[in-house]
Amino acid sequence: MSKTTCCFLLGTVLTVHATAFASHDAKPYFSAPYTGKKVRQYDITLPLSRHQKTTFSIPQDCRKLNSRLLEGSGRWGTRIERRLWIKADDDCRYLNFLQQYAEHAEQDFVSNYDFYNAKISDLPLRPGCDLDLLLRNPTACPPSMPGMPNFSMFMSNMPMHQRQPKELEDCRFNNGVFRGYIYHTGTGLRCRKDQKAPGYRILSVDFANVNGDKCQDAVLRMMPIGRGERPSLLILPLTRCSETEKFSLLPGSDYPRFGPTANR
């Protein structure tokens, strides 16, 4: 399969996700197979054996899909069909993550924030390591969390006096896309935007109480972009319980992993 076909398939795979069995208000959009159309549900026909196929309606048939995967059906079919097995399972995993707690949030300090144009300084630069430690002693930071975005890899060590301040702008997403390099000026983060640089694209933002506390949470799904980047789904679950708090990673959440490397 060509790289173009692979990227197209992953693009259709990466716009909403499962093994979903709970009942909840969260109803994310999915990306329809082949077309990439934004939908609430889709039908997908997958092989159960060499000569048998069946159609699943996602997300209604997530239990049925999970049972078939446990039986080993996901190994059948062409490479494209096996990727679609992964896509459907990822959709079910994601929906289950959103719906794992029935409790409704009593406070909401996340849904009024424009994450598609978020300031980088408002997000965890490197989940598990704060900015102060990154600047003082980055080697003391724990390893990057798999399956989560890591903005610290875009931080430049070049001394500021070697760059013209006029080249630097606010560090933020623009309509869901960030590409560029991050500098710490001593007064805050500034960026040199570069359309050829690596970065991240926000695929979707969903809101749910995913860890069962009183505060509404935001779940960002992203994918890395740029030359040499392998398309993969990343998740950034964030929360805050007051308007003045910074966004932080959700405590007590079982973050889902997506794609061929996820435990299935």
**pLDDT score for 21:** 35
Beta bridge partners of 239: 217, 248
pLDDT tens digits, 141-196: 877 777 888 888 888 765 554 455 567 888 899 999 999 888 887 777 888 888 88
What pLDDT is stored for residue 54 in this prediction?
96
Q: Which residues contact 30 (CB under 8 A, 6 or more apart)?
A: 15, 16, 17, 38, 39, 40, 41, 42, 58, 59, 91
Sequence-separated (6 or more) residues with CB below 8 Å from residue 143: none
The residues facing 174 across adjacent strands are 177
Determine the Cα–Cα distance for residues 230 and 232; give it in Å rounded to an integer: 6
Strand order in the sheet with 248-249: 169-170, 189-193, 177-184, 199-208, 217-225, 234-239, 248-249
pTM of this prediction?
0.79
Cα separation of 204 and 188, whole Å? 27
Burial of 177 (0-12, 13-18, 19+ CB in 10 A): middle
The answer for residues whose C-beta is within 8 angstroms of residue 183's C-beta and 6 or more apart is 155, 156, 158, 160, 163, 168, 189, 190, 191, 192
Task: List the chain pLDDT tens, one digit each, 264 residues.
Answer: 444 444 444 444 444 333 333 334 678 888 899 898 889 999 999 999 989 999 999 999 999 999 999 999 999 999 999 999 999 999 999 999 898 887 788 999 999 999 999 998 888 878 777 777 777 777 778 777 778 888 888 887 655 544 555 678 888 999 999 998 888 877 778 888 888 889 999 999 999 998 888 899 999 999 999 877 677 888 999 999 999 888 988 865 556 666 655 555
The pLDDT of residue 185: 77
Residue 136 is predicted with a pLDDT of 73
